[in-house]
Amino acid sequence: MECYIVGGFVRDRLLGRNAQDRDWVVIGSQPDEMLRRGFKPVGQDFPVFLHPHTGEEYALARTERKTGQGHQGFSFHADPTVTLADDLVRRDLTINALAQTADGQLIDPLGFQPDLERRVLRHIGPAFGEDPLRVLRVARFAAQLAPLGFSLAPETASLMQQMAQSGELTSLTAERVWQETHKALASPNPARYFEVLRQTGALAVLFPEVEALFGVPQPPQYHPEIDSGVHTLLALTACAQLTDDPAIRFAMLCHDLGKALTPREEWPRHIGHEARGVAPARALCTRLRVPRVVQELALLVTAQHGRVHQALQMRPATLLDLLESLDGFRRPDRLEAVLTACTADARGRLGSENCDYPQADKLRRALACAQQVSPAPWVAAGLNGQAIKAALHQARVQVLADTFCSSD
């Protein structure tokens, strides 16, 4: 029985990245022998075991054959005759088909290490096209490895285009699409994920609401990049520089979806795109079964980002209404998330990548001032709930008027 570490751990170690979870492949063994050695079975579709002491996963070397449609339409064959090369060749990318011994010696039976050195994402063979999930995985690897300069091999991009056109991407479950998307949103360059999906035609299949933004113009005096889709990815890149929170980054992906619904005769202006964008943002979230807390932030940013941008011109009563609409008093963390997204939106324009965003500071200051108003005097005076609410509102408006009128 021979055991090798395979996959992402080997790739990341060679790239100098933080290599964490180790996956092992076992050559020349079978289930009953693994059980005799104390391994605990966990695999349902093929033999996977947990080491009795370390808890790491050990999978018997296997081959696979396409038997049906979609990501799960495969049968697997594992027995002691399957070699390390047989197991590695069924994997998706050449950079993920490397192995090493327990003491760190590199094992490269298929000669794929040069692609790692050249920073190329290349599929191993035609079997790649049998699993539609691999389109998303490659796009996600492109986002995660973007800082290292990885590029997509032309033949792999071509095959991914064929896969997108085949219709098999629609067989992916919402959970798997969101899982890969969430990982990409947490990556150093989430915009790269969507760029690769668009390059290969997969964006139109899985994220049609985002695809629809490309080719929609915006006023050049405000958006020198002009294209609404380009702006969305620029804003997503700016957001990645401000926060590593995938929820805020997803909100940035959704914030301008309403621009795709602007009547052509109104181009390049997009008055009311915030309200129009709520429906497509909700549709996207529903289809992908986006977690509720992520969905709520995306819808809030979509609906309110235009008002946040106007905060410098707002009267005290309107400013207070905005703070209440953003639930700033009960959830200041939610307000901060919205302000981060809106800052990224402002910076997601050519030439504005490092611009200040004074609207955020004004709203933070406004919240701090309004929070100082206590309902205690009206409670002591015996007012009821609605009367207290009205008095508190009026007092907060007055505090904001005093604060910002005096500062002006």
pTM: 0.92
Tell me which CATH code domain 119-201 carries: 1.10.110.30
Could you report the per-residue pLDDT of 186-213, keeping only the tens digit for each?
999 999 999 999 999 999 999 999 999 9
Nearest to 124, CA basis, from 93, 165, 82, 168: 93
Planar angle of CA 35, 41, 46, nearest 5 degrees: 110
Residues 221-225: contacts with CB under 8 Å, at least 24 apart: 222/349, 223/349, 223/350, 224/349, 224/350, 224/351, 225/349, 225/350
Could you report the per-residue pLDDT of 321-346, keeping only the tens digit for each?
999 999 999 999 999 999 999 999 99
Spatial separation of the C-alpha atoms in residues 305 and 240, rounded to whole Å: 18
Spatial separation of the C-alpha atoms in residues 240 and 237, rounded to whole Å: 5
Domain boundaries, the chain: 1-115, 119-201, 207-371, 372-407
Could you report the per-residue pLDDT of 171-183, keeping only the tens digit for each?
999 999 999 999 9
In this prediction, residue 70 carries a pLDDT of 52
**Shared fold status for 1-115 and 119-201:** no
In this prediction, residue 407 carries a pLDDT of 53
Which helix (H) or strand (E) segment holds residue 75: the answer is strand 74-77
Least confident of 86-90, 115-119, 402-406: 402-406
For the beta carbon of residue 60, count every other beta carbon within 10 angstroms. Answer: 25
What is the chain's mean pLDDT, rounded? Answer: 94
Could you report the per-residue pLDDT of 307-321, keeping only the tens digit for each?
999 999 999 999 999
Tell me which CATH code domain 1-115 carries: 3.30.460.10
